[in-house]
């Protein structure tokens, strides 16, 4: 199941124009110029990430269905605000 969830997270990030540059079954890392702006936005939605300066952001697997939905909604909201 972990491999499937890792692939699901990578696909979700890619759909939101944040393709992972690395990771494993437990997390995905995105290197993007917007990486430093995302943690605050996601934290307001209850999603914790780890920022690696200057441009890396690590996303862990959501624990349950509601976490997946919250992550997807927060990423879409960020994209809409910054389009």
Would you state the pLDDT for residue 53?
77
Query: Picking from 27-31, 52-56, 73-77, which range would have the lowest pLDDT averaged per residue?
Result: 52-56
Rounded to an integer, the average pLDDT of 6-12 is: 96
Burial class (CB in 10 A: 0-12, 13-18, 19+), 25: middle
Would you state the pLDDT for residue 75?
95
CA atoms of 50 and 25, how far apart (whole Å): 16
What sections of the chain are H helices per DSSP?
2-15, 38-44, 65-81
Would you state the pLDDT for residue 83?
75
Per-residue pLDDT of 10-52, as tens digits, reads 999 999 999 999 999 999 999 988 778 899 999 999 999 999 8
Q: Using DSSP, state whether 4 is helix, strand or coil.
A: helix
Closest C-alpha to 26, from 62, 74, 64, 52 = 62
């Amino acid at each position: 199941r972990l491999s499937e969830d890792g692939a699901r997270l990578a696909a979700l990030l890619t759909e939101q124009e944040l393709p992972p540059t690395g990771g494993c079954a437990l997390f995905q890392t995105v290197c993007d110029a917007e990486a430093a702006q995302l943690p605050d936005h996601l934290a307001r939605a209850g999603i914790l990430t780890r920022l690696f300066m200057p441009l890396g952001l690590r996303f862990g697997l959501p624990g349950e269905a509601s976490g997946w939905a919250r992550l997807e909604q927060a990423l879409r909201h960020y994209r809409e605000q910054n389009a």
